[in-house]
């Protein structure tokens, strides 16, 4: 078991070292998310449509679109020089590879989201600080579900010629329950409601997190087989 965690940690370490050197993933995700928010700010009249009504949706659209770039890049990194083959030849359980990539994607996305929240606050003129803790919980739960299924589909689409198109086509329909749950929870949190009043949405999102992780564990062997 110790070896298993060491292998997961090695994959995370490798992804972080690579990202620290290149900064390709973070910069592309951050700029894309920022652009999405700016486009919405200028295309919607916030004096007519309330920022608290449209804000949660815009925030999650930005996270989702930017996250898709990150997921695409995540396994593309492994394709260069046939590194994925090197990983598959190494004596590690395929699920260790999945969890390593999941943790990397999850943390990268959370860092990007942490940088986006202050900008979102400024552009939409919403005070997030007083709702920060429940909001962080919602973001953690939503991002986990996104990364759980996204990492699996990213490993599936990496060998396809049309991977750039296939990943969003496969991912977005499966993201619907998590996006609905996350947007609803974010809206209610920004309205000042406590998490205990939205347990149905919390349960729904958590339930899909668990389902997507379980499905990934069960299928990753077949997905990664050549």
CB of 86 to another protein, least distance (A): 3
What end-to-end distance do the CA atoms of the chain give, in Å? 27
CB of 82 to another protein, least distance (A): 3
Say if CB 44 and CB 54 are below 8 A apart.
Answer: yes
- The yes or no reply on residue 159 touching another protein (CB under 8 A) is no
CB closer to another protein, 92 vs 175? 92
CB of 76 to another protein, least distance (A): 12
Q: Which of 5, 6, 118, 191 binds another protein (CB under 8 A)?
A: 6
- The yes or no reply on residue 9 touching another protein (CB under 8 A) is yes
CB closer to another protein, 96 vs 183? 96
Nearest to 172 by CA among 81, 82, 65, 46: 65
CB of 158 to another protein, least distance (A): 14
Separation between Cα atoms, residue 180 and residue 34, nearest integer Å: 21
Fill in the per-residue mask, 182 to 221: x = in contact with another protein (CB under 8 A), - = not in contact. Answer: ---------------------------------------x
Residue 100: CB atoms within 10 Å: 22
Q: Which of 1, 45, 91, 196 binds another protein (CB under 8 A)?
A: 91
CB of 74 to another protein, least distance (A): 13
CB closer to another protein, 127 vs 226? 226
* Cα Rg of the chain, angstroms: 18
Task: Encode burial over 199-226: b for 16+ CB neighbours within 10 A, e otherwise.
Answer: eebbebbbebbeebbeebbeebeebbee
- 11-30 residues near another protein, rule: CB under 8 A: 11, 13-14, 17-18, 21-22
Separation between Cα atoms, residue 36 and residue 214, nearest integer Å: 32
Q: Is the dihedral of CA 167, 186, 119, 50 positive or negative?
A: positive
Fill in the per-residue mask, 70 to 89: x = in contact with another protein (CB under 8 A), - = not in contact. Answer: -------x--xxxx-xxxxx
CB closer to another protein, 6 vs 203? 6
Exposed (0-12), middle (13-18) or buried (19+): which is 183, by Cβ within 10 Å?
A: buried
CB of 211 to another protein, least distance (A): 25
Separation between Cα atoms, residue 72 and residue 98, nearest integer Å: 14
Region for 13 from its dihedrals, namely left if φ exceeds 0, alpha if ψ lies in -120 to 50, beta otherwise: alpha
Positions touching another protein (CB under 8 A) are: 3, 6-7, 9-11, 13-14, 17-18, 21-22, 77, 80-83, 85-93, 221, 225-226
């Amino acid at each position: 078991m110790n070896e298993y965690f060491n292998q997961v940690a090695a994959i995370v370490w490798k992804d972080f070292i690579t990202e620290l050197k290149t900064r390709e993933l973070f910069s592309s995700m951050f700029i894309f998310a920022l652009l999405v928010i700016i486009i919405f700010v200028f295309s919607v009249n916030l004096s007519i449509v309330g920022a608290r009504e449209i804000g949660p949706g815009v925030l999650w659209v930005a996270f989702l679109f930017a996250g898709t770039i990150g997921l695409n890049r995540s396994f593309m990194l492994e394709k260069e020089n046939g590194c994925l083959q090197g990983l598959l030849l190494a004596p590690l359980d395929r699920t260790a590879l999945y969890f390593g990539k999941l943790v990397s994607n999850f943390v990268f996305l959370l860092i990007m989201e942490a940088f986006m929240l202050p900008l979102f606050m400024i552009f939409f003129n919403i005070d997030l600080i007083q709702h920060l803790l429940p909001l962080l919980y919602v973001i953690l739960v939503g991002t986990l579900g996104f990364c759980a299924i996204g990492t699996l589909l990213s490993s599936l689409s990496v060998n396809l010629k049309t991977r750039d198109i296939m990943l969003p086509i496969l991912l977005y329909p499966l993201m619907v329950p998590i996006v609905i749950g996350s947007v609803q929870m974010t809206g209610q949190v920004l309205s000042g409601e406590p998490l205990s009043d939205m347990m149905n949405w919390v349960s729904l999102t958590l339930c899909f997190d668990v389902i997507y992780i379980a499905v990934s564990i069960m299928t990753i062997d077949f997905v990664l087989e050549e």
